[in-house]
A and B are shown apart, each in its own frame.
Chain A
Amino acid sequence: MMPMHDPEPSPRLQRLLKASALVPPGLSDRLVRASLPQLPRAESPVVLWRFSWSRFAAAAALLLAAGLVLRWMAEPAEPEHPEYTLTMLVESGDESVLGEAIVNLNSARGTGLADLDAEMRLFLADTRVDG
């Protein structure tokens, strides 16, 4: 049976192996000179980050999201339900805004503007309370 708990060589063999492990003078200097240019450059405080694809993807996603938000903000709001708006406006008694609401209502319904307009104005005239 092979003994397994004798991992080190005899002192003499150890001495021989150590004596044979010689390193030429100046080895480390030559290794540093050869390999240092391969090392990434230390980051300068001016250049805060290096290019990487993950950073590029994150920046692109951020720009896209910002673009979508701006576009959503620039779009005109969908007109609210015409009947509801009209009812509310009639109750408020503001004629100038009402005219615009009637146009919206008309385009939404595709009905004739004139009848509806006249009807609303009559209604307003009846309900207006002049100061």
Chain B
Amino acid sequence: MTQPMETPQLLARAAQGDPQAWREVVERWGPRVFAFVRSHANDPELAEEIVQSVFCTVARKLPDYVEQGRFESWLFRIALNRLRDEMRRRKRQARPMAAEVLADVGPAAPADQRATPEELAALRESMQQLGEADRLVIDLRHQGGMGFQQMADLLNEPLGTLLARHHRALRKLRDLIRRRLGEEEP
């Protein structure tokens, strides 16, 4: 089995037009960008459209991009800008996704990650109740899989501020989910 290529090497080869390297770029980051955009837009079709546009932009700009260890911040910044533009353009409020749509999407999660439809509905609705800034840090961290330092670079915020914001957002989300599921505070 071949070792996965290091990011700078992979990006350099993709930038030279190597289709195999580009496929690996898409496979490595596409699902994470999609998960982030879909969670934030709460619309899988719009999310795929946006992610396609993001990767088209990245493909065009990659030959001029100089990798200094910030590729993910760059990629997610493009995604975030594109997402905001699209949401503004369509003036579309994020809509709760129907449970059956969510159930149709993708392979089943592993057993230890399965959640009941009620739990997932509670999560979605609770996310919608969070403020934009809180939702953004949770989506970037838990759907986009970004590190805190990368998020700090992307959002141009001090790391400590970001950690505190993330902590507050998680606490709010947890409380909202408990309330929706009719659970008592521990």
Question: Which residues of chain A have a CB within 8 Å of any CB of chain B?
Answer: 2-4, 6-7, 9-10, 13-25, 27-28, 30-32, 34-36, 38-43
Contacts and interface: CB of A to CB of B under 8 A. Distances in A.
A7 B148 CA distance: 9
Interface in B121-173: 123-124, 138, 142-143, 148, 160, 163-164, 166-168, 170, 173
Interface of B: 14-19, 22-23, 26-27, 30-31, 34-35, 39, 44, 48, 51-52, 55-60, 62-63, 102, 105-107, 109, 112-115, 119-120, 123-124, 138, 142-143, 148, 160, 163-164, 166-168, 170, 173-174, 177
A3 B163 CA distance: 10
Contact of A15 (B39, B51, B113): B113
A2 B168 contact: yes
Nearest to B19: A36
B23 A28 contact: yes
B134 to A, nearest CB: 13
Given A16-B177, A39-B14, A31 B115 contact: no
B143 A21 contact: yes
A31 B163 contact: no
A95 B92 CA distance: 101
A13 B176 CA distance: 11
Contact of B106 (A3, A25, A40): A25
Contacts of A41: 17
